Amino acid sequence: MSKQTTITESRGASHARHSSRSQVIADLGLEQYVMQLEVDGLCVVPPEVHGVPIAVFDEMVEFLLKRSASLVGCTFSLERGPHAEVTFKSDQQRSGLAEDPSKITQFLIQQLGSQHRMFRDLAVNPVAVALIKHMIGSKVTRFSSNNSFVKWQGEFGYGPNLGLHADQSAVPLPWGRTALTANTNWCLTDYTLEGGAFAYVPGSHRFASRPQFPSAVAQAVPVEAAKGSVIVFHGATWHGAYPRKIPGMRISIANYYRHMMVSSQEDYRNSFDRDLAKDCVNPELFWALCGFDDEFPYCEQSQPVPRVLD
């Protein structure tokens, strides 16, 4: 076999994989959103495209308000947020929530997939997953976490740097074009600048670096989106959020995905109930994204061992 033949076959296999991924995008009519991801590192997909009814988001909001009350110890409402002054215990570590400790305006509800089927269904939404797989890769995409950001009024928020960061920052540089992680931010309430909108730097995923301050703040723009929209973005995109300056709440769900060679935030293989994984709109996809059948990491001898012939 000639070297040219080998190269041609290799290119053919690569083209077939790319064509298959592109066909899914075409079948779902997502070409314009893929273009936005390529250029800006972020796109906003409306409900009429991803297909999740607004009534489902209403149900999620009701669930998360009740869950917030249960966790925090006071009533939460969309009009007021928490109905009492709240604080983190001094011994609690608040990784990733870089707010002034004396001015708390949000917290994270974790492991949503274990709490209700509607969150599992959302995590395998075909439009969102297709865009995520376009960035990470069809066969190597896995869950990292399924959480909710619960946010209310406060002038400080993440502070003057808007909490700008790239999700894949834990991975050493240099980064390439392929996303090592990718994220979705489902808007369960309207996103406005005054209401604490998502912030990002357009095109920053192509910088292949962590945010540079203070220039990153000057480059940031708000992502204003209607309730029910999903914001999809590359793991190298610089993003954060503006403080919420008006009464009420901003609630979102962050379904976060990773390349299978990147560690997950939630330990699905060892802690997620397999029966729950089967109870969703697409059990086969959910199972695969959990990585239940992945070879690594192994916890016992996984490779064959030779034995002496009889």
pLDDT of 13 reads 47
Distance CA 124, CA 167 (A): 20
Coil, helix or strand at residue 303: coil
Cβ atoms of residues 183 and 167 within 8 Å: yes
Of residues 250 and 298, more confidence is placed in 250
Of residues 12 and 63, more confidence is placed in 63
pLDDT of 287 reads 98
Cβ atoms of residues 182 and 257 within 8 Å: yes
Q: Residue 152: pLDDT band by 50, 70, 90 thresholds?
A: very high
Across the chain, what does the average pLDDT equal? 91
Nearest to 253 by CA among 145, 163, 104: 145
pLDDT of 157 reads 85
Non-local CB neighbours of 241 within 8 Å, separated by 6+ positions: 151, 157, 158, 162, 163, 196, 197, 198, 199
Averaged pLDDT for residues 20-42: 94
Residue 297, token pair as written in the block: 């990491």
Non-local CB neighbours of 51 within 8 Å, separated by 6+ positions: 125, 126, 127
The structural domains of the chain, ordered by start, are: 41-83+104-169+182-290 (2.60.120.620)
pLDDT tens column, 242-276: 999 999 999 999 999 999 999 999 999 999 999 99
Distance CA 253, CA 1 (A): 52
Distance CA 45, CA 64 (A): 22
Is the pLDDT at 34 greater than 60? The verdict is: yes
Determine the length of the chain. 310
pTM assigned to the model: 0.90
pLDDT tens column, 65-94: 999 999 999 999 999 999 999 888 765 555
pLDDT of 169 reads 96
pLDDT of 294 reads 94
Averaged pLDDT for residues 293-309: 91
Q: Which amino acid is at 225?
A: A
Nearest to 98 by CA among 162, 15, 43, 13: 162
pLDDT of 93 reads 57
Is the pLDDT at 5 greater than 50? The verdict is: no
Distance CA 112, CA 99 (A): 23
Cβ atoms of residues 127 and 43 within 8 Å: no
pLDDT of 100 reads 59
pLDDT tens column, 175-212: 999 999 999 999 999 999 999 999 999 999 999 999 99
Is the pLDDT at 4 greater than 60? The verdict is: no
Averaged pLDDT for residues 223-239: 98
Cβ atoms of residues 208 and 176 within 8 Å: yes
DSSP of 143-183? EEEEEEEEEE--S-TT-TTTT-B-TTTTSPSPP-SS-SEEE
Residue 70, token pair as written in the block: 């249960």
pLDDT tens column, 95-131: 545 455 667 899 999 999 999 999 999 999 999 999 9
